[in-house]
Amino acid sequence: MNIKFKLKIIFFLQFFIWGSWLITLGSYMMETLKFSGTTVGSVYSTMGIASLFMPGLLGVVADRWIPANRLFMICHLIGAITLFIAASITSPLMMVVVMLIHCLAFMPTIAISNSISYSCLASQGLDVITQFPNIRIFGTIGFIIAMWLVSFLKFGLSNMQLYIAATGSILLSLYSLTLPLIVITKDNSKRKSLVSSLGLDAFVLFKEPRIAIFFIFAVFLGGILQITNTFGNPFLLSFKNVPEYADSLVVQYPSVLLSISQISEVVFILFVPFFMKRLGIKYVMLISMIAWVARFGLFAYGDPSPVGFTLLLLSMIVYGCAFDFYNISGSMYVEKSVSSNIRNSAQGLFMIMTNGIGAYLGSTISGFVVDYYTSDGIIDWRTIWLIFASYSLVLAIIFLLIFKNEKTEEKAFQVIN
């Protein structure tokens, strides 16, 4: 079995686990457990809290002491245990605590899986920019299949979604043992800086203004990424309160509709290398921000009616561009901007900015916004989505004015055909 096939299975299971609960857990908590929007935001913010330090910390561990694929295995075993426990919880506080422990184990594995892939591809003499998107696609496919499984089995409002995710964690932990051992790069220099000795090598990237700006905007974009993950499914389910829409497919199978977003990812991820080589990171990220404006704006005016459904469908399609043109290109940009001995640390730092600070702020603030625009149990979703669309537009304008591509960057992304 060649390494590319093994990596495809790794990514499939990695995102199958996440897809089993990420989109539907909010609805389960709001509809079944009767948690408030603020509580739901707090539960989702645990991904941000965990990502503040765990990806960077475990990235250092993988760089220096424990092979990345062995650390990956341990994290998913812990993740499986916490998901099984979370499935039986009905207390808001306990759900926050247990999901925090789960995320402390799970969130670092996203960056570690990228690093494992980059390392395995490089060891085989394969080009990362060309090969990685084709492998990463299988993560999206896994996410989609998990969403469909949960939706068609009617587990969207049930704790069964957590049991499915836990089972996936066990399978992935065992399968990761089939990967070749990742060799830890030894630093043979006699004199190390204090930063290097502490394993904080990747933080020196902030000395480069352009990369520092990139990481700052990673925070703002990370906040955007979590908004529809947290409240997209509850939004679609809310149409059940409108009599003419109560039996619509949007209400019956919201996760299936949302999965079109991930299907769109499969398509747009193939365009990432093309645009990265020709436009550079600035314009690829700018396209992502504009796509987020469209995502939220279309949500604001979408509904299960024929015209409204078309708007919802378009929102799902542009999500692929919004997500891939930032998340995948950003990871690849970081990979090409650092030396191999801090690869894991750098990917961990990217996760801290995006899924750490950004995700925490996005989940927490969006929860407060949802509660603020909730009156007598009715949520003003249109206003909420327009607020988020405006935020994305302002962010895009500021980024256009501040961030600059450099010729050296464009050369770095040229691939010999």
In which residue are the tokens 């949520």 written?
A: 379
Q: Which two tokens stand for residue 21?
A: 């609960």
pLDDT at 187: 56
Q: What share of the chain in percent tops pLDDT 70?
A: 90
Name the pLDDT band for 412 (thresholds 50, 70, 90).
very low
pLDDT of residue 223: 86
Q: At what angle do helices 343-351 and 37-64 cross, to 10 degrees?
A: 170
Q: Would you say residue 45 has pLDDT above 90?
A: yes
Model confidence over 127-152: pLDDT tens digits? 877 888 789 889 989 999 999 999 99
User: Can you tell me the distance from the alpha carbon of 55 to that of 42, in angstroms, rounded to the nearest whole number?
Assistant: 20
pLDDT of residue 66: 87
Residue 278 has pLDDT above 70, yes or no: yes
Who wins on pLDDT, 75 or 219? 75
Helices 68-86 and 160-175: angle between axes, nearest 10 degrees: 160
What average pLDDT does the segment 174-203 reach?
64
One-letter identity of residue 337:
S
The residues, ordered by sequence, that sit 6+ positions from 11 with a Cβ below 8 Å of its Cβ are 113, 117, 135, 136, 138, 139, 142
Arithmetic mean of pLDDT over the chain:
86
Collapsed DSSP state (helix, strand, coil) of residue 410: helix
Q: What is the pLDDT of residue 336?
A: 75
Tell me the domains of the chain and their CATH numbers: 3-181+197-412 (1.20.1250.20)
Residue 207, pLDDT above cutoff 80: no
Place 191 in a pLDDT band, splitting at 50, 70 and 90: very low
Name the pTM for this structure.
0.79
Between 205 and 62, the more confident residue is 62
Q: Where does the pLDDT of residue 190 fall: very low under 50, low under 70, confident under 90, or very high at 90 and above? A: very low
Residue 42 has pLDDT above 50, yes or no: yes
Describe the crossing of helices 128-152 and 92-123 by its angle, rounded to 10 degrees: 150
